[in-house]
Chain A
Amino acid sequence: MTAQTCPRQHQRTTMEIASLEPSLYTVKAVFILDNDGNRLLSKYYDTELYPSMKEQKNFEKNVFNKTHKADTDEIAFVEGMTIVYKCSIDLFFYVVGSAQENELMLMAVLNCLFESLGQILRKNVERRCLLDNMDGVFLVVDEIIDGGVILESDPQQVIQKVNYRLDGSEQAYGLGLFDYIVGNIDEQTDRSQCA
């Protein structure tokens, strides 16, 4: 380890709490990974934290390795950062804040993200469906956090602002009507939701 990297690394790994400068910049980063730890979406709002892509991916890998086994937990402390996370089928959602950040504020962001996505994806919060509606996902993240500031924390408001229609929904309505007529609606809706 060289002398330059040493102080910074050290700062990150200790849990010492310094007094917090009042600021709206709450969220350091947000990312969504699949169950192999691959990045599907990630946003870093603090440009000083992990400035290069390589450092970001390393950090994500590190976070993933420490969290994917314990998927019932919802909070961890990695590289000097507080991380709240949630897992859904084959997706992992992470919200990162500084060690001094109010954990419940980060939780509010995570919950809002998760519920908003749950709504636009009609509860199919899984990898394939998410990727099929990536534009909607980008817009949701954009409405919840702007440059690290929590812009909105109420999922209903987020949905309203994004006003996103699930991809293939027109088609689904068409099929739905058809299925309604032929009488196998239940079976079809499941399939069409994620077409």
Chain B
Amino acid sequence: MIKKFDKKDEESGSGSNPFQHLEKSAVLQEARIFNETPINPRRCLHILTKIIYLLNQGEHFGTMEATEAFFAMTRLFQSNDQTLRRMCYLTIKEMANISEDVIIVTSSLTKDMTGKEDVYRGPAIRALCRITDTTMLQAIERYMKQAIVDKVPSVSSSALVSSLHMVKMSYDVVKRWVNEAQEAASSDNIMVQYHALGLLYHLRKNDRLAVSKMLNKFTKSGLKSPFAYCMLIRIASKLLEETEAGHDSPLFDFIESCLRNKHEMVVYEAASAIVHMPNCTARELAPAVSVLQLFCSSPKAALRYAAVRTLNKVAMKHPSAVTACNLDLENLITDSNRSIATLAITTLLKTGSESSVDRLMKQISSFVSEISDEFKVVVVQAISALCQKYPRKHSVMMNFLSNMLRDDGGFEYKRAIVDCIISIIEENPESKETGLAHLCEFIEDCEHTVLATKILHLLGKEGPRTPSPSKYIRFIFNRVVLESEAVRAAAVSALAKFGAQNDDLLPSVLVLMQRCMMDSDDEVRDRATFYMNVLQQKQKALNAAYIFNVRLCLSVSVPGLEKSLHQYTLEPTEKPFDMKSVPLANTPITEQKTEFAPVATSKLPEKPGPTRQDIYQEQLAAIPEFQGLGSLFKTSEAVQLTEAETEYVVRCVKHTFARHMVFQFDCTNTLNDQLLQKVMVQMEPSEAYEVLHYVPAANLPYSQPGSCYSLVRLPEDDPTAVSCTFSCTLKYLVKDCDPNTGEPDDDGYDDEYVLEDLEVTVADHIQKVLKPNFAAAWDEVGDDFEKEETFALASVRTLDEAVGNIISFLGMQPCERSDKVPENKNSHILFLAGVFRGGHDVLVRSRLALADGVTMQVTVRSSDETVVDIILASVG
């Protein structure tokens, strides 16, 4: 008798592994017995198990050897041993991508899938679909349709799930099975119901109306499967979000009714769906929060975890809604599952009062070392949100953060802490010195180059403006001595900023620079030499231009610069390269920090890839009519020119060039029985703007967005005419078509559709630029063309509102965090910076005072007089 495994293994106790010393070559050798007659099912089964085990361990099989084993395996279909046959199916699936010619088993599998043995049918379908491609799928289509509606649940489920897997590959074929899937959806079996629903949704998800009909049907008839309910809830909430339907919609009622389902899974799904809906009111949240509250005391850890994680999410937006659960959350802060405890504490930190902060912080520091980095990041985010809420607590927080900073942890965790400290420093001027001291201590022993350079940059920015800047010099210079090239270079730049702003430190900084000039790295030496020479001039304007606000290097888009330089080398010319012709980079969102929510730290870091504007530039350059416009200066945000739910959806993106504007109209046709052709938007300007060209979109089929363009010349004789209103009409040729096939009729007729007016404002001519040191930039531009005027903003009631209005009106970048109005102040100064079309720097200082309404004194400086006039004229 053949024993399955060697009995010797057993002697070495349960620690042994029968598969431990498997050799691939030996196993493949053994696989030759597949060819013996009669087949020995037990031995063959054992060998197949070994092969699958090896594949599972990541053993690499060459195509040749895999194919050989696979072909040998196909002989085993002659045996009728059930387990052996099932293992053959598994082997087929595992080897589908490794072996060649796997399709030779098609006929065996087709036979099994239509045979009498129900046990084989489901698995055979799944194996067959794994090796089938689009062309072969047509051949088995008939069988698949039958299988989907088969009365044996495992067969039906297998067919549905396999169809779902194949939607990606052969959507068109699977789409034809929708009626069968519909029939399967009314099955009594809960899994069949679930799989049918999933497949139906995948086939229809692009057709909102069909999805909505399907939802309507199933929510009325009711389902048995809790999984299917969860799926329905997700579909419903997605539909709600897309259609922006109000919360009085029947879909919302359906989700809410699921809160009373008998399955916890469904209840939780519904609660979570409600919590994640945008703009939920506290009253709508309340039922969801109260079921989550019940879950908090569940004996199941997974349920407690799910509940507290969701509550934590609620607390970010609606802390007051969670206050009712505070008692339950308190019980969870000692939970043996540290993940649950951490989430409970961070939630309480968001909902609790100021007085409980100290206690919670103490509790959490008792086990912060035991939790994983992911949760430490959550803790840091909670602290950061807390500092916003209770600025007075920053000293407690700062202590806690500095302790965390000293502990071990990965990069993400450290970065979260550093970001948090930086945000505290920016929010609370009085915490600046302690914060900087902690960060200085941290870079003394910091293995992450990115963080070290970031902190050095911050020190360079903030350090010189502290009461005793000299104490930071030591920390910075230590970096020059000890660290890698990137950190040394950053340290040199930071040193230069101290030298530029503190005259008494300048001599020492120059001495240190002298030493840096002997560095072994090129970049460090270059920077040191450069700064040395700039600093020795002792001129404020030079310092401002080359040390604080390094406009030329920082604010142009890198791909744009590359392209301009390439262009320059192609056309031999006597003229020097003009930096102003390079498109400016959009100010990255992370720099604005207009809202510092806890989520802000989780934003993806800026990608070094091309920005949105670079992509547009690329697209526009490909259109022959737009050759010779120069480089793209600014691209505006998209403006909707239609209501959300209309036949045609049109939005406009404005592209500004030196002397022209290009309007890009992104149109979508939402009628599935129409094909639009020669689509263009006719524009009637109100001012001296001249429409030069229309570039129509040739075809606009159903639901595929297309773009048409208009090229407009800006008035040259009157540079102050920066604003204009265009009345727009969509013109096109309509052809009716078959909604299913998309086949259009031969004849069409012209039609038009009136769009909303399009405004061009002063903001379209100005690109945002961040000046890290506004005062220096102000001096640099000088007062050659300075103008000042005072306005009264009668309709504005608060300083915040006024600041917001000015920023959005001028489209300039707020500097020095002046977009944030401190509370309880009745005057404020707003600093704005930008570049006007044509490359002129423009700076605006706006003093605001609140009395009855807001009084505003605007001072504008620019390198060009016209620009100053334009700005003042447009404000007035």
Q: Indicate whether A and B interact.
A: yes
Q: How large is the interface on B (under 10, 10 to 19, 20 to 34, 35 or more residues)?
A: 35 or more
A41 and B157 contact, Cβ closer than 8 Å, known pairs A10-B605, A128-B16, A139-B90 = no
Contacting pair B191 A132 (CB below 8 A): no
Residue B608 at the chain A interface, CB threshold 8 Å = yes
Interface residue tally for chain A (C-beta within 8 Å): 73
A138 near B234 with CB under 8 A, answer: no
A17-B276, A74-B337 provided; 18 other pairs, C-beta below 8 A? A1-B450, A9-B412, A10-B605, A11-B604, A16-B602, A23-B198, A42-B56, A77-B375, A78-B372, A102-B265, A134-B19, A135-B46, A135-B49, A142-B123, A149-B195, A153-B191, A157-B154, A168-B4
Which of A10, A72, A90, A139 contacts B14, CB < 8 Å?
A: A90
Contact present for B227 and A70 (CB under 8 Å): no
| 8 Å CB interface, B1-55 against A | 4-5, 10, 14, 16-19, 45-46, 48-49, 52-53
User: Is there an interface contact between A151 and B56, defined as CB atoms closer than 8 Å?
Assistant: no
- State whether the Cβ of A46 lies closer than 8 Å to any Cβ in chain B: no
User: What's the Cα separation between A168 and B841 when bound, in Å?
Assistant: 86
- Binary per-residue interface labels of chain B (135-165) against chain A in the complex, 1 for a CB within 8 Å, 0 otherwise: 0000000000000000000100110011011
**B599-623 interface (Cβ within 8 A of A):** 599, 602, 604-605, 607-608
Are the CB atoms of A73 and B337 closer together than 8 Å?
A: yes
Within 8 Å CB of A15, what residues of B?
Answer: 309, 374, 377-378
**Known interface pairs A104-B302, A135-B48; A39-B241 also in contact (CB < 8 Å):** no
Q: Which chain B residues border A146 with CB–CB below 8 Å? A: 126, 158, 161-162, 165
Determine whether the beta carbon of A102 is less than 8 Å from that of B4: no
Which residues of A59-104 have CB atoms within 8 Å of chain B's CB atoms? 66, 70, 72-80, 84, 90, 102-104
B residues contacting A by CB (< 8 A) are 4-5, 10, 14, 16-19, 45-46, 48-49, 52-53, 56-58, 82-83, 86-87, 90, 93, 119, 122-123, 126, 154, 157-158, 161-162, 164-165, 191, 194-195, 198-199, 201-202, 205, 227, 230-231, 234-235, 237-238, 241, 264-265, 268-269, 272, 276, 300-303, 305-306, 309, 313, 336-339, 372-375, 377-378, 411-412, 448, 450, 599, 602, 604-605, 607-608
Q: Is A51 an interface residue (CB 8 A)?
A: no
B-side contacts of A131, CB under 8 Å = 17-19
Pair B16/A102 contact, Cβ less than 8 Å: no
A21/B198 in contact, CB under 8 A: no
Q: How far is the CB of B822 from chain A (nearest CB, A)?
A: 30
Nearest-CB distance from B229 to chain A (Å)?
11
Cβ-closest chain B residue relative to A62: B372
The 8 tightest CB contacts between A and B, nearest first, are: A24-B198, A53-B58, A22-B234, A14-B602, A104-B265, A103-B306, A73-B337, A135-B49
B604 in contact with A19 (CB, 8 Å): no
Q: Are B599 and A104 in touch, CB under 8 angstroms?
A: no
CB <8 Å contact, B227 and A153: yes
> Is A150 in contact with chain B by the CB < 8 A criterion?
yes
- B206 vs chain A, min Cβ distance (A): 13
Q: Inside 8 A of A78's CB, which chain B residues have their CB?
A: 372, 374
Cα distance, A187 to B649, chains bound together (Å): 78
- A7 CA to B83 CA, complexed, in Å: 45
Contact present for B373 and A13 (CB under 8 Å) = yes
The dominant DSSP class at the A interface is mixed
A57 near B58: Cβ-Cβ < 8 Å: yes
Q: Measuring CB to CB, which residues of chain A are less than 8 angstroms from any residue of chain B?
A: 1, 3, 6-7, 9-11, 13-17, 19-24, 34, 38-39, 41-43, 53, 56-57, 66, 70, 72-80, 84, 90, 102-108, 126-128, 131-132, 134-136, 138-139, 142, 146-147, 149-153, 157, 161-165, 167-168
Query: How long is the Cα–Cα vector from A11 to B93 in the complex, in angstroms?
Result: 32
A20 CB contacts on chain B under 8 angstroms: 234, 238
When the two chains form the complex, which single residue of A41, A162, A164 contacts B56, counting CB atoms closer than 8 Å?
Answer: A41
Partner of B191, one of A16, A19, A57, A151: A151
Residues B265 and A151 in contact, CB atoms below 8 Å apart: no
A122: shortest Cβ distance to chain B, in Å? 16
> A135 touching B45 by the CB < 8 A rule?
yes
Residues from chain A with Cβ under 8 Å of B194 in the complex? 24, 150
**Bound CA span A164–B83, Å:** 7
Question: How far apart sit A14 and B374, CA to CA, in the bound complex (Å)?
Answer: 7
Given that A13-B412, A73-B337 are contacting pairs, would A151 and B158 also be in contact in the complex, using a CB cutoff of 8 Å?
A: yes
Q: Which of B154, B227, B602 contacts A161 (CB 8 A)?
A: B154
9 sampled A-B residue pairs with Cβ under 8 A: A6-B605, A10-B602, A16-B599, A76-B339, A102-B230, A104-B269, A106-B302, A135-B46, A163-B83
Check if A10 sits within 8 Å of B58, measured CB to CB: no
Q: Is the CB of A74 within 8 A of B198?
A: no
What is the CA–CA distance of A19 and B375 in the complex, to the nearest angstrom?
A: 21
Which residue of chain B lies nearest to A67 when distances are taken between CB atoms in the complex? B372
**Chain B residue with minimal CB distance to A81?**
B374
Residues of B within 8 A of A126 (CB): 14
Bound complex: CA A146 to CA B124 (Å): 13
